[in-house]
Amino acid sequence: MKVVHLPCYQDNPYQGLLFDALQSRDIEAIDGGGGGNFLRSILLRWKPDVVHFHWIHPYVLRRTALLSWCKTIQFLIELLLIRLSGKRILWTLHNLSNHEGRHPHIERFAGRWLGRLCHKVICHSQFAADQAVKTLGISRSKIHVTPHPAYTQSYTEIIKPEVGRKQLGLSLQSTVLLFIGRVSAYKGVSELITAFLSLADENEDLELVIAGRPQSEEHGNELIQLSQNHPRIHFHLHYIADEQVSVFFSAADVVMFPFRQILTSGSVLLAMSFGRACIAPRIGAIPETLPPEQTNLTYDPQVKSGLSETINHAIQQKENLAATGAENLRCTETWTWDQLAADCETLYQDN
């Protein structure tokens, strides 16, 4: 069986791990590239049995709304032709619309029609499935819910905390908060900095590390300015190479996810895979992902002081954070790529 995946991003471990698991089942996973036109390649070059979409915004969104509508019409016509050619179409619904908020109504229009034209939709949480039905009008009979696999084996083995902290210039006695990943506005890093500053004077051993490439140089500069050059806020505003990821996680007591909006978060799974406690809002799939007994490390994002109060609680319960992280790691051990590949194999078959 041949399956082309569209689009593919080399810096996202999700697809590489899925491809490896599919390969072990004698399913050829084809890298469909990062966007652009695909119809000719599907019909004449790749000739797959299945077309598996992951994100659709690279195919439908352009700088202006007019151009985006034109690309959307082209995308839907090409989907219809692929369907008429007899190929099976699947869609993994990673998010309802792009994180940057560009023309969301156009992307959701495209998503509603993709939901009608595809054979099956994969969701990584019941919340995502409910949103697919409610927001995109997708038939529940088309939806298959399967857990997002963990990244336990994706990165180098975690190193000792003292080694990581030494490399990053952090105190061994501090309570270290970590944000790691793409630094985008929707992830709420500015709210995290504000919450840290409100607690820093009363907690002299509290440190904050922000690691990842910002969505723009302007956004990075805004965050630096917001930090007021606080000596215990440490910026690493660049791409974090795979071999360095374990350094940051090893140094952290708790990993921060101050999202403004989210559907499914692979980054929470990554932190759990490293055995780290997480602080996150009770939105999207997060309540389904973190163990239910950890509600004291989640907060209502509508409450203005919710994030800072949750951080303060973590500080007061620092001695329990390691055990919380160990519980997170145990939870992820059953969320495997082989299971996702098995579910995909079933859905790829015409039944």
Measured CA to CA, the distance from residue 350 to residue 340 in angstroms comes to 18
DSSP, collapsed to helix, strand or coil, labels residue 234 as strand
CA distance 48 to 91: 15
89: enclosing H helix or E strand? strand 88-92
Topology, domain 161-332? Rossmann fold (3.40.50)
DSSP H/E element including 6:
strand 2-6
**pLDDT (0 to 100) of residue 65:** 96
Looking at residue 141, the DSSP 8-state letter turns out to be G
Q: What is the predicted pLDDT for the residue at 178?
A: 98
Tokens of 341: 């590949």
CB 276 within 8 A of CB 301: no
Would you say 271 and 181 are in contact if contact means Cβ atoms under 8 Å apart?
Answer: no
Token pair 């997060």 is at which residue? Answer: 286
Q: Which of 107, 117, 142, 95 is nearest to 347 (CA)?
A: 142
Tokens of 109: 């229009």
Residue limits of CATH 3.40.50.2000 in the chain: 2-149+336-348, 161-332
CA–CA separation, 142 and 124 (whole Å): 14
For the stretch 97-110, what's the b/e string if a residue is b when 16 or more beta carbons lie within 10 angstroms of its beta carbon? bbbeeebeebbbbb
Closest CA to 190 of 264, 279, 259: 259
b/e sequence 145-162, b meaning 16+ C-beta within 10 Å: bbbbbbbbebbeebeebe
Is residue 23 within 8 A of residue 50, CB to CB? The reply is no
Domain 2-149+336-348 class, CATH top level: alpha beta
Mean pLDDT by 10 residues, the chain (351 residues): 94 89 96 89 96 96 95 97 97 86 92 96 95 96 94 74 95 96 92 96 96 94 95 96 92 95 85 94 91 91 94 94 94 91 94 62
Of all residues in the chain, what percent are helix, strand and coil, respectively (each to 5)?
A: 50, 15, 35
